[in-house]
């Protein structure tokens, strides 16, 4: 695994936990953790449970005892590492967004397709797909329970930048992060909508906004800007604070998307509502074990949104965990990701979401940026 910050901890817990609750056809071994700072990566490896460390990702990728590379680094390094790993014959799990540019993402897809011919697998980490309630949503749509989709509204709301004095970080730097709320959380919104509906976005009209243009530079970040003296106090925000966009779906429905870090009081609220001709679905990650489902074919006297507590043995992944009513948490979806990835590798099948699925999301993000830059005009996706 390369990277050991927030995502690294989540992935490590998943690799460690998956074989304890699920019957995996292959047994993962947590071999090497990669990071640039030798001392820090050693401490992280001890803490997270990796056997060895590497201070260059190239070394890690080259190791014979490594069969799979899990890429948990910032987006701008994804392409280089993932392509090299695939070419070295390692399966790759790559965190989202797939890449910071369309070009990089296309290169990754090409590498993934070439590798697949040799039986080498790749997957991109849109983990929210593997929340059991989201799986149920997908299943209900696929089973025709809500009929033709008319509306999708997805909001990914956070608030950690609502305070204008919140400090700069690499996530606010266009060079490092590619984009702001759009790529970081808007990408999840797009993937979720496409996954649950089983459709693709066919065009968008967008507005991007940066509400706060300068922020205090945190001490540890000051170096990045190479600044000193009085001006060192503040640095520019070069990415979007919020992204809002309209979309059409391949099935004819309308989508409304919103991704922001300025929704005061909403910490990690991923909300999806889908209205179909025969029913509706609603999900909010703040209550992640629940899916609301309305079946419009029922007698109007007792029809209503059902609060389905998605903790029954019939629900995806749940039978391996706890009895009904004992909810799962954030990191369980990462364990499910490991389960699905290992299962696909053992079965010789392509896991999803593939790099091509990841590229499809990137194309939407790119269209959003182009629309926003051109007076919100409609940008079609082919």
Residues 271-290 touching a second copy, rule: CB under 8 A, are: 275-280, 285-290
Q: Which is nearer to a second copy, 247 or 341 (CB)?
A: 247
Q: Which is nearer to a second copy, 167 or 327 (CB)?
A: 327
Q: Which member of 89, 213, 264, 346 binds a second copy (CB under 8 A)?
A: 264
Q: Which member of 160, 213, 214, 231 binds a second copy (CB under 8 A)?
A: 160
Q: Is 215 in the site for a second copy (CB under 8 A)?
A: no
Q: Is 169 in the site for a second copy (CB under 8 A)?
A: no
- Closest contact distance (angstroms) between CB of 354 and a second copy is 26
Q: Which member of 2, 3, 4, 10 binds a second copy (CB under 8 A)?
A: 10
- Closest contact distance (angstroms) between CB of 88 and a second copy is 29
Is the Cβ–Cβ distance between 283 and 133 less than 8 Å?
Answer: yes
Name the 3-class secondary structure at 72.
coil
Instruction: Compute φ and ψ for 47, nearest 5 degrees.
Output: -70, -45
**CA proximity to 5, closest of 32, 25, 35:** 35
- Closest contact distance (angstroms) between CB of 162 and a second copy is 6
Which range of residues in 74-82, 85-93, 108-116, 259-267 is near a second copy by CB under 8 A? Answer: 259-267
Pairing of strands 290-295, 379-380: unpaired
- Closest contact distance (angstroms) between CB of 382 and a second copy is 16
How many residues form the binding site for a second copy (CB under 8 A)?
Answer: 99
Residues 288-327 touching a second copy, rule: CB under 8 A, are: 288-290, 292-296, 299-309, 311-312, 314-315, 321-327
**CA proximity to 188, closest of 256, 132, 127, 240:** 127
Contacts of 3 (CB under 8 A, 6+ apart): 34, 35, 71, 72, 73, 74, 95
Residues 14-53 touching a second copy, rule: CB under 8 A, are: 16-17, 20-21, 47-49
- Closest contact distance (angstroms) between CB of 370 and a second copy is 13
Is the Cβ–Cβ distance between 170 and 224 less than 8 Å?
Answer: yes
CA atoms of 45 and 28, how far apart (whole Å): 16
Contacts of 146 (CB under 8 A, 6+ apart): 140, 274, 275, 276, 277, 278, 279, 280, 281
Is the Cβ–Cβ distance between 292 and 136 less than 8 Å?
Answer: no
Instruction: Compute φ and ψ for 294, nearest 5 degrees.
Output: -110, 125
Q: Is 91 in the site for a second copy (CB under 8 A)?
A: no
Residues 178-207 touching a second copy, rule: CB under 8 A, are: 205-207
Q: Is 170 in the site for a second copy (CB under 8 A)?
A: no
């Amino acid at each position: 695994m390369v990277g050991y910050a927030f995502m690294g901890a989540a992935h490590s817990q998943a690799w460690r936990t998956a074989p304890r609750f699920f019957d995996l056809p292959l047994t993962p071994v947590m071999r090497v953790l990669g990071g640039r700072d030798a001392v820090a990566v050693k401490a992280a490896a001890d803490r997270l449970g990796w056997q060895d460390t590497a201070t260059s990702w190239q070394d890690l990728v080259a190791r014979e005892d490594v069969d799979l590379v899990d890429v948990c680094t910032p987006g701008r390094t994804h392409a280089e590492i993932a392509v090299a790993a695939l070419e070295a014959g390692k399966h790759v799990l790559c965190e989202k967004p797939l890449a910071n540019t369309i070009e990089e993402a296309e290169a990754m897809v090409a590498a993934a397709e070439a590798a697949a011919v040799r039986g080498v697998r790749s997957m991109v980490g849109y983990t929210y797909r593997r929340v059991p309630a989201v799986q149920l949503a997908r299943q209900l749509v696929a089973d025709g329970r809500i009929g033709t989709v008319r509306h999708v509204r997805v909001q990914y709301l956070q608030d950690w930048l609502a305070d204008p004095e919140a400090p700069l970080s690499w996530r606010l730097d266009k060079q490092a992060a590619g984009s702001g709320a759009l790529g970081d959380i808007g990408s999840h919104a797009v993937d979720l909508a496409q996954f649950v509906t089983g459709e693709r976005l066919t065009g968008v009209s967008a507005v991007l906004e940066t509400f706060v243009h300068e922020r205090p530079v945190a001490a540890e970040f000051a170096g990045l800007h190479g600044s000193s003296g009085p001006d060192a106090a503040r640095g520019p925000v070069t990415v979007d604070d919020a992204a809002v966009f309209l979309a059409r779906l391949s099935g004819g429905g309308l989508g409304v998307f919103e991704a922001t870090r300025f929704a005061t009081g909403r910490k990690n609220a991923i909300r999806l509502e889908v209205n179909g001709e025969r029913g509706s679905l609603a999900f909010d990650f703040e209550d992640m074990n629940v899916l609301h489902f309305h079946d419009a074919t029922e007698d109007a006297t007792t029809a209503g949104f059902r609060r389905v507590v998605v903790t029954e043995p019939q629900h995806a992944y749940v039978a391996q965990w706890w009895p009904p009513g004992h909810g799962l948490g954030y990191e369980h979806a990462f364990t499910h990701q490991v389960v699905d990835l290992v299962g696909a590798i053992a079965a010789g099948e392509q896991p999803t979401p593939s790099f091509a699925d990841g590229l499809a999301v990137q194309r939407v993000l790119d269209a959003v940026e182009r629309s926003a830059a051109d007076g919100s005009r409609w940008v079609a996706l082919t």
